[in-house]
Amino acid sequence: MDADVWNEQVARDYDESSAHMYAPGVLDPAVDFLERRAGAYPVLEFAVGTGRVAVPLSARGIRVAGIEKSEPMAQELGRKLGGDDVAVTIGDMTTARVPGEFSLVYLVYNAITCLLTQREQVACFRNAARHLGPGGRFVIEVFVPDLQRLPPGETARPFHVGDRHVGFDTYDLVNQRLVSHHYTIVEGEGSTFLSPHRFVWPSELDLMAQLAGMELSERWADWDEAPFTASSRSHISVWQKPLGSASS
């Protein structure tokens, strides 16, 4: 994950450009889902960003810690009401360690794809497992690669079209990569943001979890727990660490 991509300008405009992700119909089900699986124990968010999920989850009385590679993003989190309640460790989610043991580690809004190699994505799973106590869960929200909707010869697909934001992805099918293009109008001024990603299939993520000593326990199409099907465009997957295991 390249912290240089998530610089001061991107961090400053991030919440505005992602305003559709703050809509109650989008955010509340995510927080509800995570709260139900956290219980009364501490949780850890990888790539915590500006705290879109961490802050409201913390406001429900759950102790939330975060790992974030981009200092400007973490600074934006710290400026928010309730942001001081989220303890953030600056570092790479593939290697950074946070003291303590957690019942839940989660990674939302496609952030696993910000790791641009399979090796890094596997390391992320292993780092999640190291932070989990016995029976702990690792939750990921990520899109299903949209390749079935790409006509022959086409390499771009829109993922959001709004009044102030337009986004589309361009695909490199050979290298399992895409670039997300964001065009946003903030206070009458336009901005452009490009972020690279490595898209990954659910079955590949299951194998990564297995390599990290976890097994799939749930898979849903969305935070409302709609069934996951062949036509689902995203998934919420939960892998669990065996009850007899320990963090390392």
Q: Cα(142)–Cα(21) distance, rounded to whole angstroms?
A: 14
Domain 8-144+200-240 indexed as CATH 3.40.50.1440: no
- What are the residue ranges spanned by the domains of the chain? 8-144+200-240, 148-192
Render pLDDT for 177-233 as a digit per residue (tens, 0 to 9).
Answer: 999 998 888 777 888 888 999 999 999 999 999 999 999 999 999 999 999 999 999
Residues 74-91: pLDDT tens digits? 999 999 999 999 999 999
User: What secondary structure does DSSP assign to 148-192, as a single string?
Assistant: GG--TT--EEEEEE-SSEEEEEEEETTTTEEEEEEEEEETTEEEE
pTM: 0.90
